[in-house]
Amino acid sequence: MQEQAKIQHIPIKMYRTSDRLVIATPMPGSQPEDILVKVTENSVIVQGGIRALLKDIKELLIDEWSVGSYYREIPLPNSVDGEHANVTYGNGVVVVSLPRCEKTVPATLVMEKTGIAHG
């Protein structure tokens, strides 16, 4: 039986425009349906899991990077509308685009499976 991966604190890139707050974070090894974004009154939580850890590895020789599980809570620099947010996942990177607004609207955002996973 394989050992569970440790939860990783993931790096982010955050920027804002006049009408949106955008957060991007690498989450390789995840599937869209395993990624959860939660907007609370004061923060955005991004978390994700992975499907399998090094399947059928007999002897791991070097392990300098790992995939999943991921977690990061990011304080909000301004109010956002979680209900109208957009979450995308491509090339191992999650991008959360949140409309700026007067008062934060909490929401939980889950992506759905889009196709067959390869690799």
Most confidently predicted of 8-12, 65-69, 93-97: 93-97
In a domain, 22, yes or no: yes
Q: Is the pLDDT of residue 114 over 70?
A: no
To the nearest whole number, what is the mean pLDDT of the chain?
Answer: 85
Q: Kindly report the backbone phi and psi dihedral angles of residue 110, in degrees, each rounded to the nearest multiple of 5, phi listed first.
A: -130, 130
Q: Which domain holds residue 60?
A: 8-110
Amino acid at 29: G
- pLDDT at position 71, please? 92
In a domain, 98, yes or no: yes
- pLDDT at position 52, please? 59
In a domain, 85, yes or no: yes
- pLDDT at position 8, please? 80
Q: Establish how many alpha carbons lie within 13 A of residue 99's alpha carbon, considering only the half-sphere containing its beta carbon.
A: 12
In a domain, 82, yes or no: yes
Q: Is the pLDDT of residue 118 over 80?
A: no
List the structure tokens of 16: 């804002």
Residue 45 Cα to chain centre, angstroms: 8
- If you search the block for the tokens 């607004």, which residue do you land on? 101
DSSP reduced 3-state for 11: coil
Domain count, the chain: 1
Q: Is the pLDDT of residue 116 over 70?
A: no
Q: Which residues pair with 80 in a beta bridge?
A: 100
Q: What is the CATH number of the domain that holds 63?
A: 2.60.40.790
